[in-house]
A and B are shown apart, each in its own frame.
Chain A
Amino acid sequence: MIIASINKRLHGANGEFQLNVSLDIAEGEFVALFGPSGVGKTTLLRCLAGLDQPEQGGVVVNGETWLDSAVRINLPPQHRRVGYMFQDYALFPNMTVRGNLEFALRKGSAKKRVDELLALMDLGELQYRKPDTLSGGQKQRVALARALASEPRLLLLDEPFSALDTEMRSRLHDEILRLQRHFCITTIIVSHDVGEVYKLASRVMLMEAGRIVQQGSPNEVFSAGQTSGKFRFTGEILAIEPMDVLFSLTVLVGNQIVRVVAMPSEAGELRTGDRVMLVSKAFNPMVLKLE
């Protein structure tokens, strides 16, 4: 159970604004902070971890007060028992994978926990490698394992997947979900990827300019109650070719190339390189299950 309220003055790209957020998160819940960059999501995480100081606020986790500006209680990050995954992973370059995990152990923790995590994250073969020799996805897994090695009461993930390709992301999403359930640990993730939020979080908080403007299940927040019967994709035109009386458009959508047909009236206004939106009614699309 986490109850927090954070008040802090921030300097954003569009001038100063006030971070003013109240959180109430149940134990074991997986919450996403969603919003454009520069609205205070990372600062909020850093305030919870004790790395940044709010001007005013309070943080109570499982009945333990971490921060209460009214009575000047402010636990340093060392005593908060938080697992924090940084955007740049922040692995210690001088230590091996195993060394990074062992460094994270609390006093009196058994070394067995490291072996357990290495096995759980499938890092056994990499355990004696230095972080510089790992790929992005591997570093990410090490960072997650290290955050869990310290037996945190709260796991904070700061855009952990932003530097990875789609396939790797999806694998790590599964991994994180599995671990989050395994340890039943309250987790807050910062993300600006709708798909990620849908997949991971049971609750999403939409943030704008330092405030939470909406919260609920991802379904409630993102579809805002009106699920659309249409598919919409945005893409970039790669080629326009005439085809008898019609035109054929080659469009890059995400990392897929699709070919669609356009009427001359539509094609006349389009040029290669234009951003377009493809809309299609989908009464009855084929639905295939993926592995």
Chain B
Amino acid sequence: MTIDWQPLLLTFKLASVTTAILLCIGVPFAWWLANTRIRFKPVVEAMVSMPLVLPPSVLGFYLLLAFSPEHWFGQWLDRVAGLRLAFSFEGLIVASVIFSFPFLVHPVQAAFQNLPRSLTDAAQVLGKSNWQTFLRVLLPNIKPALLSGTVLAFAHTVGEFGVVLMIGGNLPNETRVASIAIYDEVEALNYAAANFYAGVLFCLSFLILLLVYIVNRKALK
């Protein structure tokens, strides 16, 4: 049996890029959410949490509609940035970022809220800018939450199926990630190949989670 490594590589590429983007936008967003006093904060929080409760196919369906060249948003993206997100790797990234957003934002937001306000006050009184305070006082003190948020987001992206299937389909080397490949191989009654992909995902997921718990236990000591 020759093994096609492409779906696995694609899965980890997707998860890595998604997690990197999430870290860049999710952490500042979580900080903002933890500190803001705007009136419509519950609305924002509900929107962030939607992917937790929505069936992935619902999200995938609407994203597919929005990304399609028939839709004004899809047209606008195509015209302005030359991006066609439906059935493409870039589309998968955008969808994964939205779908895994709460997995990173929730633990990080909770950790920011649990930090005593006096830490920020103290840094400001000592003459540090908001940016210095954020980088040198706040972030280092939420490391465990940052780590678990990152890993959860990564693992969740590795495991997603519904959204990917809806907006990515099953194009080899473009959108055929491991979870899709498993489904595809089973449909073709090719159980050996399905077993291989499934086994790799199973072991890797376990190892990643194990690592998080070990590191977090050390961090608490």
Interface residues of chain A, those whose CB is within 8 Å of chain B, are 49-51, 76-84, 86-88, 90, 92-94, 103-104, 106, 146, 150
Whether A78 contacts B129 by the Cβ 8 Å rule is yes
**How many residues of chain B get a CB closer than 8 Å to chain A's CBs?**
17
Whether A84 contacts B116 by the Cβ 8 Å rule is no
CA distance A50 to B121 in the complex (A): 10
Given A78-B128, A84-B122, A87-B118, 19 extra CB contacts under 8 A: A49-B125, A50-B125, A51-B124, A51-B125, A77-B124, A78-B124, A78-B125, A80-B125, A84-B125, A86-B121, A90-B119, A90-B121, A93-B141, A94-B140, A94-B141, A103-B123, A103-B126, A106-B127, A150-B127
Q: What are 8 A-B pairs with beta-carbon distances under 8 A?
A: A49-B121, A50-B124, A50-B125, A78-B128, A81-B127, A82-B125, A86-B122, A90-B116
Determine the residue in chain A with the shortest Cβ distance to B130. Answer: A78
List B contacts of A88 (CB < 8 A): 116, 118
B122 interface neighbour in A80, A81, A90, A94, Cβ under 8 Å: A90
Whether B140 contacts A77 by the Cβ 8 Å rule is no
Interface residues of chain B, those whose CB is within 8 Å of chain A, are 116, 118-119, 121-129, 136-137, 140-141, 143
Whether B121 contacts A92 by the Cβ 8 Å rule is no
Determine the residue in chain B with the shortest Cβ distance to A78. Answer: B127
CA distance A86 to B119 in the complex (A): 9
B137 interface neighbour in A51, A78, A94, A146, Cβ under 8 Å: A94
B124 interface neighbour in A76, A83, A94, A103, Cβ under 8 Å: A76
Contact A79/B137 with A86-B121, A90-B119, A90-B122 known, Cβ cut-off 8 Å: no
Whether B125 contacts A92 by the Cβ 8 Å rule is no
Whether A79 contacts B127 by the Cβ 8 Å rule is yes
List the count of A-B residue pairs having beta carbons below 8 Å apart.
Answer: 55
List A contacts of B129 (CB < 8 A): 78
List B contacts of A82 (CB < 8 A): 125
Instruction: Select the residue from A50, A94, A146 with max chain B CB neighbours within 10 A.
Output: A94
Whether B141 contacts A84 by the Cβ 8 Å rule is no
Interface of B is mostly: helix
CA distance A238 to B217 in the complex (A): 47
What's the least CB distance linking A6 to chain B, in Å? 17
List A contacts of B121 (CB < 8 A): 49, 51, 77, 84, 86, 90
Nearest first, the 7 closest Cβ-Cβ pairs linking A and B are A90-B118, A94-B140, A90-B122, A77-B124, A84-B125, A86-B118, A104-B126
List A contacts of B136 (CB < 8 A): 103
CA distance A180 to B128 in the complex (A): 24
Contact A92/B118 with A77-B124, A78-B128, A150-B127 known, Cβ cut-off 8 Å: no
What's the least CB distance linking B83 to chain A, in Å? 40
Determine the residue in chain B with the shortest Cβ distance to A82. Answer: B125
Contact A92/B124 with A78-B129, A103-B136 known, Cβ cut-off 8 Å: no
CA distance A91 to B177 in the complex (A): 47
Determine the residue in chain A with the shortest Cβ distance to B142. Answer: A94
List B contacts of A146 (CB < 8 A): 126
Instruction: Select the residue from B123, B127, B143 with max chain A CB neighbours within 10 A.
Output: B127
Whether B127 contacts A92 by the Cβ 8 Å rule is no
What's the least CB distance linking B134 to chain A, in Å? 13
Instruction: Select the residue from B122, B129, B143 with max chain A CB neighbours within 10 A.
Output: B122
What's the least CB distance linking B220 to chain A, in Å? 11
Determine the residue in chain A with the shortest Cβ distance to B137. Answer: A92
Contact A77/B125 with A86-B118, A90-B118, A92-B119 known, Cβ cut-off 8 Å: yes
List A contacts of B141 (CB < 8 A): 92-94
List B contacts of A94 (CB < 8 A): 137, 140-141, 143
What's the least CB distance linking B14 to chain A, in Å? 33
List A contacts of B140 (CB < 8 A): 94
List A contacts of B137 (CB < 8 A): 92, 94
